[in-house]
């Protein structure tokens, strides 16, 4: 494909700092095409060193106190709308860049791009409406509460939906007048770099949104930086702990964490079977199970278990027939996992589980090229099985049966995670009871893995700290300041 946006070698060509491509001073990153295991043929992209990060931070500081600080909320909103327009205009190129290194089918990435643009539009609307507060001088003082931007922020993201994570972090940050440095995953940074370029095209001043690339060390340079005031992270719980620790040990920067999950789907015997099958299948095979909110533990009422599991097995077998398709072919819907490391990790979960029980479907090794893993089901794994307890981040589903609603709730909550969950039933009262009883940040009733800009997304327990999207995210990018004014005339 010939890119319309990037004429130089068809690719982003460095770090995106102060509205320019600047080569990183670190090692070059290499990308493997997970569909065939071959190196992706693009010009080398060098990672950011400590001095590159310092440069980015000083540009971001200058922007924060410079021209950008004089922009009205309305003007910031207009720029965010312009960025959303450019994202839609260049959707094909962004999807291509995103799919190229990650192996995520382009058909899947394309669907996320309008959602990404809508996040920028949603926060464009907030930019001139996120007001503070006022209290009358009944005690002799007028009180004004202002919402001040925090300053220089950083966003560190995972690879499984980099463009959405970029929007979830930068749109509320920019709407409230902050500046932000984004570090996408080293496994798939091209799409994020391309959006950095679009930010400059939209007319944002230099230094307002910058993109740096690199591995965990680059992320650490951001989370431990003394002049970055906030870090928002999307990734694994293990890395989230390190980031919180680095923030604590440096300047106590504000931290929000969007982490892993082991989300339950609870299927009652009165559920609409066809729709439930669709969502339960999508909930663990969508993006090859590489979704934080994947419903990887399924609890089905005993009365319908045999029929339901048989139908799900058929659906998984049909999906597995699509393995091996080129992710850049729009007809491909089921891709490989991101890389060999992830392939080995998921395979290890499957092989360990196979010591205790045979998979109901899947579990075999794909013999063709690329890191494909067939959707796999384990029925009634032991309570302490690794595959039942830990996040696999791949297409592996554990199923157990239950008799009563109370038992289903107990099973659903028996996890250290609390990101999401689903309930399938046609009884509205039961749907509400069970939704409220599940300890998770997002519960789908007769649906799974749904997100949108108006409602908060985030986790209970080990799944995170804070929320993205909705009005809630604005609170994470502002510091409230209380101003007391003595009411002399009343004295």
Minimum CB separation of residue 236 from ligand NAD in Å reads 3
Minimum CB separation of residue 148 from ligand NAD in Å reads 26
Q: Is 390 exposed, middle or buried (0-12, 13-18, 19+ CB in 10 A)?
A: middle
Cα gap 175→149, rounded to integer Å: 9
- Residue 288, phi then psi, degrees to nearest 5: 55, 35
Binding site for ligand NAD (CB under 6 A): 156-160, 183, 185-186, 215-216, 219-220, 223, 234-236, 239, 242-243, 258-261, 292, 391, 393, 419, 459, 464
Token pair 């997304």 is found at 457
Which residue, 3 or 185, is less far from ligand NAD as judged by CB? 185
Token pair 């789908």 is found at 444
Residue 465: both structure tokens together: 């700290």
**Strand spans (E) along 268-335:** 297-301
Residue 47: both structure tokens together: 């990672």
Answer whether 458's CB lies under 8 Å from 441's CB.
Answer: yes
Minimum CB separation of residue 446 from ligand NAD in Å reads 22
Answer whether 390's CB lies under 8 Å from 238's CB.
Answer: no
Residue 94: both structure tokens together: 């962004």
Which residue, 160 or 478, is less far from ligand NAD as judged by CB? 160
Answer whether 463's CB lies under 8 Å from 441's CB.
Answer: yes
Which residue, 305 or 398, is less far from ligand NAD as judged by CB? 398
DSSP for 327-349? TTSTT--S---SSHHHHHHHHHH
Cα gap 183→242, rounded to integer Å: 16
Cα gap 361→354, rounded to integer Å: 12
Which residue, 93 or 258, is less far from ligand NAD as judged by CB? 258
Which residue, 80 or 337, is less far from ligand NAD as judged by CB? 337
Minimum CB separation of residue 157 from ligand NAD in Å reads 6
DSSP for 20-65? EEE--SSPEE--B-TTTSPBP----EEPP-HHHHHHHHHHHHHHHH
Other residues' Cβ atoms within 10 Å of the Cβ of residue 382: 13
Q: Helices 190-202 and 162-175, interaxial angle, to 10°? A: 30
Give residue 370's Cα distance to chain centre: 24
Minimum CB separation of residue 318 from ligand NAD in Å reads 26
Which residue, 5 or 222, is less far from ligand NAD as judged by CB? 222
Which residue, 374 or 441, is less far from ligand NAD as judged by CB? 441
Which residue, 206 or 261, is less far from ligand NAD as judged by CB? 261
Cα gap 286→306, rounded to integer Å: 23
Q: Looking at the DSSP assignment, which residues form a beta bridge with residue 397?
A: 377
Side-chain half-sphere CA neighbours of 223 within 13 A: 27
Minimum CB separation of residue 228 from ligand NAD in Å reads 12
Which residue, 172 or 261, is less far from ligand NAD as judged by CB? 261
Q: Looking at the DSSP assignment, which residues form a beta bridge with residue 183?
A: 156
Minimum CB separation of residue 226 from ligand NAD in Å reads 16
Catalytic residue among 93, 98, 186, 258: 258
Minimal CB distance residue for ligand NAD: 219
Identify whether 258 is a catalytic site residue. yes
Minimum CB separation of residue 357 from ligand NAD in Å reads 25
Residues 6+ apart with CB under 8 A from 376: 316, 350, 359, 361, 362, 363, 395, 396, 397
Minimum CB separation of residue 244 from ligand NAD in Å reads 10
Answer whether 309's CB lies under 8 Å from 281's CB.
Answer: no
Cα gap 334→92, rounded to integer Å: 19
In angstroms, the Cα distances linking 199 to 95, 214, 271, 336 are 17, 20, 45, 31
Q: Which residues are catalytically annotated?
A: 258
């Amino acid at each position: 494909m010939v890119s319309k946006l990037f004429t130089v070698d068809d690719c982003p060509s460095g770090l995106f700092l102060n509205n320019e491509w600047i080569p990183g001073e670190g090692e070059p990153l290499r990308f493997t095409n997970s569909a065939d295991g071959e190196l992706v043929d693009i010009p080398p992209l060098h990672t950011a060193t400590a001095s590159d990060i310092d440069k980015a931070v000083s540009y971001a500081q200058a922007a924060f106190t410079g021209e950008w600080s004089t922009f009205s909320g309305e003007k910031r909103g207009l720029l965010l709308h312009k960025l959303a327009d450019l994202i839609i205009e260049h959707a094909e190129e962004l999807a291509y860049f995103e799919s190229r290194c990650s192996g995520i089918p382009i058909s899947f990435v394309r669907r996320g791009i309008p959602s990404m643009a809508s996040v920028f539009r949603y926060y464009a609307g907030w930019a001139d409406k996120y007001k503070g507060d006022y209290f009358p001088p009944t005690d002799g003082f007028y009180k004004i509460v202002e919402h001040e931007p925090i300053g220089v922020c950083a966003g560190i993201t995972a690879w499984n939906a980099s463009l959405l994570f970029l929007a979830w972090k930068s749109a509320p940050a920019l709407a409230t007048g902050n500046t932000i440095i984004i570090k996408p995953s080293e496994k798939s940074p091209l799409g994020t770099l391309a959006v950095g370029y679009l930010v400059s095209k939209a007319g944002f001043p230099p230094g307002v949104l910058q993109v740096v690339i690199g591995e965990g060390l680059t992320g650490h340079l951001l989370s431990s930086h003394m002049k970055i005031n906030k870090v928002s992270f999307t990734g694994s719980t293990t890395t989230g702990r390190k980031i919180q620790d680095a923030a604590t040990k440096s300047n106590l920067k504000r931290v929000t964490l969007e982490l892993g999950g082991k989300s339950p789907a609870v299927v009652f015997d009165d559920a609409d079977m066809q729709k439930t099958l669709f969502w339960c299948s999508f909930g663990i095979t969508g993006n090859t199970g590489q979704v934080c909110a994947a419903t990887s533990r399924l609890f089905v009422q005993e009365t319908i278990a045999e029929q339901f599991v048989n139908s799900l097995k058929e659906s998984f077998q049909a999906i597995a027939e699509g393995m091996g398709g080129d992710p850049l072919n729009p007809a491909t819907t089921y891709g490989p996992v991101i890389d060999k490391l992830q392939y080995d990790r998921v395979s290890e979960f499957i092989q360990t589980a196979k010591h205790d029980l045979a998979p109901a479907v899947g579990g075999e090794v794909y013999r063709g090229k690329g890191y494909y893993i067939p959707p796999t089901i384990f029925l009634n794994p032991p309570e302490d099985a690794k595959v039942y307890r830990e996040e696999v981040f791949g297409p592996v589903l554990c199923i157990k049966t239950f008799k009563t609603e109370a038992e289903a709730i107990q099973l659903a909550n028996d996890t250290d995670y609390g990101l999401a969950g689903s309930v399938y039933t046609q009884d509205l009262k039961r749907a509400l009871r069970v939704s409220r009883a599940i300890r998770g940040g997002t519960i789908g009733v007769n649906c799974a893995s749904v997100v949108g800009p108006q409602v908060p997304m985030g986790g209970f327990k080990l799944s995170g700290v804070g929320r993205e999207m909705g009005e809630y995210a604005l609170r994470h990018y502002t510091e409230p300041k209380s101003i007391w004014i003595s009411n002399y005339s009343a004295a």
